[in-house]
Amino acid sequence: MNSIEIDRLSGCCFGVAKAISKAEEELRRGNTLYCLGDIVHNNIEVERLEKMGLITVNHEQFKELKNVRVLLRAHGEPPVTYEIARRNNIELIDASCPVVLRLQKRIKEKYTHAAGNDGAQIVIFGKKGHAEVNGLLGQTDGSAIVIESKEEIGKLNFTKDISLFSQTTKSLEGFREVGELIGSRMKNGARFEFHDTICRHVSNRIPNIREFAEKHDLIFFIAGEKSSNGKVLFAECRKKNPASYLIHHPGEIDPSLLKEGLRIGICGATSTPMWQMESVAENIFYLLHH
Ligand code: SF4
């Protein structure tokens, strides 16, 4: 006898879930709706919404739009996006996550405040070119320094004040390590501020997923190919349970893995909708009984 359990703590975080339901609500009204960038790093979910009428555009295409409605996804946008919308009479459906908006505000305040502080640096620990990071950089007119890892801290000036922020989805451990390293290198009385801006909706997933992986004999982890959070969480699963398999589609299950008497667990990333995990469970059930 096998058991199949879906991790109820996996699935879309509230920011992404809210953006998807806003899109669905607008599309049900039958109005044309554009979305600036993929609404979620999950191809199947993007395709589902596109079938409902959502049109995904990139930033170049966005500049050419006029008199339409555009949804801003949870990652948030820099001020220039709002300016273009004003100029082109674009109605924005702003689904930026409130956690990201609060972080943008904090960075903007720090930037405004630091205006007279010669050489002060605003540093963002995040992925260069990531949509959320672009939105954060925009709060500083592009002047903040983005570092992706502790190896990059050499480019900072430790004799001048540093305020360190993080992209919301970075690993808490990595961020703390970067913070400690910078703090230990400050010189000549320069001040260092460490702003812990990691989203707990993501960082809490790591201990949860480790526990879930340990409790099962076989794990199917479903996430989109572009989901960086999916890669991190899957790696954690695998560390705890080597019998963990990453799949990008609910139908991608290797039947030879489904031996008798296994406790099977299904989990996913913060961009994996619950319906996809349910669909994996249904497929496993079908394979076990046919
Ligand atoms: S991970 Fe956190 S900050 Fe990012 S969209 Fe989800 S809830 Fe918002």
Q: What is the total count of domains within the chain?
A: 3
Q: Please say which residue of 48, 66, 97 terminates a domain.
A: 97
Cβ contacts of residue 86 below 8 Å, gap of 6+? none
Tell which residue, 240, 168, 165, 143, has the closest CA to residue 16.
Answer: 168
Give the integer Cα–Cα distance in Å for 231 and 237: 10
Sequence letter at residue 251: G
Distance 199 CA to ligand 1 centre (A): 6
Ligand 1: atom nearest CA of 169 is 1
Q: Are residues 59 and 104 in the same domain?
A: no
**Low-confidence residues of the chain: pLDDT under 50:** none
Q: Are residues 279 and 214 in the same domain?
A: yes
Give the integer Cα–Cα distance in Å for 17 and 273: 8
The encoded tokens of residue 246 equal 């990453």
Active-site annotation holds for 193: no
What's the predicted TM-score (pTM) here?
A: 0.89
Range of the domain at 49: 14-97
Distance 15 CA to ligand 1 centre (A): 5
Distance 130 CA to ligand 1 centre (A): 14
Q: Please say which residue of 97, 115, 149 terminates a domain.
A: 97
Q: How confident is the model at residue 193, as a pLDDT?
A: 97
Q: How confident is the model at residue 30, as a pLDDT?
A: 85
Does the C-beta of 35 come closer than 6 Å to ligand 1? no
Q: How confident is the model at residue 290, as a pLDDT?
A: 83
Q: Are residues 183 and 236 in the same domain?
A: no
Q: Are residues 19 and 57 in the same domain?
A: yes
Q: How confident is the model at residue 1, as a pLDDT?
A: 83
Q: Please say which residue of 75, 97, 119 terminates a domain.
A: 97
